[in-house]
Structure 1
Amino acid sequence: MQQLAAQSNYGLRDEIKAYWSVRAETFDSQPGHEIFSEEERDAWHRLIRKHLGAGEGRKALDLASGTGVVSHLLDDVGFSVTGMDWAEPMLERARAKAKSRARSIRFLMGDAENTMEDDASYDVITNRHLVWTLVDPKAAFVEWHRVLKPGGKLLIVDGDFVNPSWISQLAKKAAALFQSWGIGKKVAHHGPDASLAETHQSILSRVYFSQGARADAVAALLKEAGFTSVAVDTDMRAIHRAQKKNFGFLKGLERATQHRYAICAIK
C-alpha cells in the first residue's frame, strides 16, 4: 500500500479506494461489518424503520455499500435497493452474496462524491462508516441532495474514531493487555495484514474529518448543503449490545462508549 501511495498521480482518493479493495477479503469476517446474529439484524431493522419507515418498494441508494450488508438490511424491510461502491473486490462479494440469498439488489461501481445518478431519482440514500473517509464532505452532501427526490431522506451511520472517551481508552488498553496474556478475543479490524492498520491511520490523518467526524459538525455541513430537519440519534445501544457478544466484553465496552450516531436529514 505504501508503494502504491508513492506512485505519481496517485492521490488520497486512490489510496482510499485501494485500501478498501484490499479490506474486501476479510470484511465480512469482522464483527461490526457483517451481521452475526438475528438480534443484531433486528436492531438494525429497527434503526432503519425508525428513521426511514417501511420500504414499500421505494428506491434506496446505499453508498459505499461494500459487501452489501446495509443493502441487504434495506432489502429486508422492503426497499428497492441499489448499492454503489468504487472498490471492485467489494462489489464482487456483494453480487455473490445477493445471488446466494436470491436477492434482486442492483450493485453499481461508482463514486459516492460524484454518483452520476439522475436528479431526484431516489427516495432514500444511506451510508454506514463512509462520511469519515470523505475528502470533500460538503460536495458529497450537495451531490446526495441533488440525487434525492423532494421529501427524500438521507440516513448516515458513522462515528468519531479519533477521539475515544476515557472509558473507551481504558477498555482498549485492558483488552490489549488481556490478549497479550492469551485471555479474551482478538478482533483484527484490518485483517491479517498488520500494515493495513498503518495505512488506515495515514488515510485518517488526511481526510476532511481527520480530527474526528463529530455528529454536530456533520449535521452543520448537511444544513449548508440544503438539507432540513437534520436529526442526530446517538441511541445505538441495541446494536452495540448485539455486537458485544462477538467482540467480547472489553472490546464491546470500547465500542459502546465511542461517539457513534445516526443522522437523518430531509431534502
Structure 2
Amino acid sequence: MTANYTLRDEIRDYWSLRAPTFDEQVGHEIFSEAERQAWRDLFLRHLGSGEGRRALDLASGTGVISHLLYGLGFEVTGLDWSEAMLAQARAKAARRGAAIRFVMGDAERTLEKPESYDVLVTRHLVWTLVDPKAAFREWHSLLRPGGRLLIVDGDFVSDTLVRRAIRLVERILPGLAGAPHAPNGLREMHERILKRVYFSKGARAQEVAALLREAGFAQIAIDRNLRDIHREQAKNLPLLKGLERATQHRYAILAVKA
C-alpha cells in the first residue's frame, strides 16, 4: 500500500470487493414482501410520505434502500463511493424502471449542495465512519430546515453470549451456523478496518444520538422496535444467526434539523 492509501480507501475497496455478492445476503437485499412492508412501515413511521420531497440514500450500495424510498414517492439520489456498487445499483434500477439518480461520493464528504434534501437515510453506514462528527455536520448541512435524518444501524461488534455460542458451534460443527459473513480473505480485511474506525468498540445508540445532538440536530428519537424486520429476515437465516440478529443492539435513530 502507498502512503496515500487511507482507511477510507480501504473501506471503499472492501465494499467494492463485496459488490458482486452483496445482494445474496440477508440484511442486504430484501427477500420477501413481508420484510419489504416492514421496512416501509419503519420509513413511514419516521419520514412520512415521499410525495414532493427529495431523499438522499447515503452509502446506497446496490440501491436497496433507494428503491424503498422511491416506492414511497420520494425523488431519490443514491450516493456511494464504490463504482462496483454503483454499477450494480444502476443496473438494478434499469431493470425495474426506477428513475433513481446514483452518484459517486464519500458519505462523509458528499459534495452535494447544502439544504437540498428533505430526507437523508443511512443503513449500516454509521458503524463504518472514520469521522462521524464531521459526517453528521455534513449531513445536517444537506437538509432543509425541518428535514429528517433516519439512521438504521447497530452494535455488530460487542461479544454477546449468542455470538460466543455461534463460534462454538462453528468450531464443533463447521457449516451448521451458516455461511460466514464474508470469505476468509475479506473477513481479515474487514477486521483490520474495524479496528481503526471511530466505533471500533461498537456503535451504541446513545453515543450516536449524542454526536447527532452535538452536530446541531434536534428532536432525536431512538427506535428499537425493529422486530418485524428481524423476524422476516430470520426466516431466511440459520437458527443461530437468526437468534443473533434478534438479540443484537440494533436500532433506528430519527434526528430533525431545527
Q: TM class, shorter-chain normalised?
A: over 0.9
- RMSD after superposition: 1.3
Structure 1 equivalent of residue 212 of structure 2: 222
Task: State the 1:54 CA deviation.
Answer: 1.2
Q: Give 2:135's aligned residue.
A: 140
CA distance in 2, matches of 1:203, 1:19: 9
Secondary structure at the counterpart of residue 219 of structure 2:
strand
- State percent identity of aligned pairs: 62
Alignment of 1:1-267 (within 5 A): 6-170=1-165, 172-173=166-167, 175-176=169-170, 179-180=173-174, 183=176, 186-190=178-182, 193-267=183-257
SS of the residue 1:247 aligns to: coil
Classify the secondary structure of the residue corresponding to 1:36. Answer: coil
Q: Secondary structure at 1:118's aligned position in 2?
A: coil
Q: Matched residues in 2 for 1:166 and 1:110: separation?
A: 38
Which residue of 2 is the match for residue 3 of structure 1? Answer: none
- Would the aligned equivalents of 1:187 and 1:247 in 2 still touch at CA under 8 Å? no
Partner of 2:199, secondary structure, is coil
Q: CA deviation at 1:168?
A: 4.0
Structure 1 counterpart of 2:125, one-letter code: L
Q: CA deviation at 1:179?
A: 4.7
The answer to whether the Cα contact below 8 Å between 1:168 and 1:253 also exists between their aligned partners in 2 is: no
Q: Residue 83 of structure 1: SS of its match in structure 2?
A: strand
Distance 2:6 2:176 in 1: 41
- In structure 2, C-alpha distance between the alignment counterparts of 1:167 and 1:9, rounded to whole Å: 39
The amino acid across from 1:189 in the alignment is H
Aligned-residue offset at 1:118: 1.1
Shift of 1:112: 0.7
Question: CA offset at residue 7 of structure 1?
Answer: 2.6
Which amino acid counterpart does residue 176 of structure 1 have in structure 2? E
Matched AA of 1:228? A
Cα distance, 1:178 vs structure 2: 6.9
Q: Could you tell me which amino acid in structure 1 is paired with residue 27 of structure 2?
A: G
Asked if structure 2 preserves the Cα contact closer than 8 Å seen for 1:51 and 1:264, the reply is yes
Distance 1:175 1:150, change over 3 A: farther
Kept after mapping to 2: 8 A contact 1:131/1:137: yes
Query: Given the superposition, is the C-alpha separation of residues 233 and 164 from structure 1 closer, same or farther in structure 2, using an over 3 Å criterion?
Result: farther
Residue type of the partner of 1:75? Answer: Y
Please give the alpha-carbon distance, in whole angstroms, between the structure 1 residues aligned to 2:214 and 2:119: 19
Amino acid at match of 1:166: L
Q: Is the 8 A contact 1:168 1:255 kept in 2?
A: no
**Counterpart-to-counterpart distance in 1, 2:33 and 2:106:** 31
Kept after mapping to 2: 8 A contact 1:120/1:149: yes
Q: Is the 8 A contact 1:65 1:85 kept in 2?
A: yes
SS in 1 for 2:236: helix
Q: How many residues are aligned here?
A: 257
Q: Is the 8 A contact 1:62 1:125 kept in 2?
A: yes
Residue 31 of structure 2: SS of its match in structure 1?
coil
Using structure 2 for the length normalisation, give the TM-score. Answer: 0.96
